[in-house]
Amino acid sequence: MKFSIFLGFLLIFVTFLPLVLVILEIFESQNPASIIDFSHLECQKMFDGDPVSLARGALFKFDDREILAQILKLSGQENAQCAEFQKIFGFFQEPTSQEELEFPLAYGMLVHGDFVQLSLLLSAIYQPQNQFCLAVDGNSSVEFIGLVRMLSRCYGNIQYFSTQGQRKDKDNILMEWKQLPDCTNSSSSEQ
């Protein structure tokens, strides 16, 4: 009886030891490389179901307000703001393959109000040879529109238009989208 209890505790200890070590490792790291610390994530292992990597993924957190504050504190300093954004989100600066360079894509998105979420999405799909056309919803905050404008200034292949102050249905948005500098060159729409 005592031996089976001991084995039970040993099994629990061995099972949860990797998780405890992961938690300690994450909380002991004092200086992340960026305000969003991706260093503990191992995406392929998470997709493969590795329990330690899944535990790291479950503990992945960041503060949206802190990220926005880092970017907004540099308002009016265009180059510094772009550099800070690039440091945080790490957009690719060069195509990742010759094939991707030869076959660029165009993305169209209707965006509304969570700039950090938009930035994380873009950081996952961004390639410098692709084009990104953002339709900013008319109900978006002035701050959000300003941050999207900053993206457009920092990256020549990100264009936007805003429907602010206008009631737009999908046909009007498509019409305005078509009026962008054809979403295949690198100029932006400043409205």
Q: Can you list the domains of the chain with their CATH numbers?
A: 2-62 (no CATH), 81-178 (3.40.50)
160 or 43: which leads in pLDDT: 160
21 or 15: which leads in pLDDT: 15
Spatial separation of the C-alpha atoms in residues 67 and 147, rounded to whole Å: 12
CA 97 from centre of chain: 21
* 171 conformational bin, left if phi > 0, alpha if psi -120 to 50, beta if neither: alpha
From start to end of the chain, where are the E strands?
Answer: 106-111, 131-136, 158-162
Q: What band does 158 get if pLDDT is binned at 50, 70 and 90? A: very high
pLDDT at residue 63, as a whole number: 82
Mean pLDDT of 151-157: 95
Residue of 27, 16, 7, 11 lying closest to 51 (CA atoms): 16
pLDDT at residue 94, as a whole number: 93
Mean pLDDT of 78-106: 92
Looking at residue 163, what DSSP letter applies? -
Q: What band does 57 get if pLDDT is binned at 50, 70 and 90? A: confident
**pTM of the predicted model as reported, rounded to 2 decimal places:** 0.67
Mean pLDDT of 112-140: 93
| pLDDT at residue 162 greater than cutoff 50 | yes
| pLDDT at residue 107 greater than cutoff 60 | yes
**Other CB atoms within 10 Å distance of the CB of residue 183:** 16
| pLDDT at residue 169 greater than cutoff 60 | no
Q: What share of the chain is helix, strand, coil (3-state, %, to 5)?
A: 50, 10, 40
The lowest-confidence range among 48-57, 79-88, 165-174 is 165-174
96 or 4: which leads in pLDDT: 96
| pLDDT at residue 48 greater than cutoff 50 | yes
Q: What band does 44 get if pLDDT is binned at 50, 70 and 90? A: confident
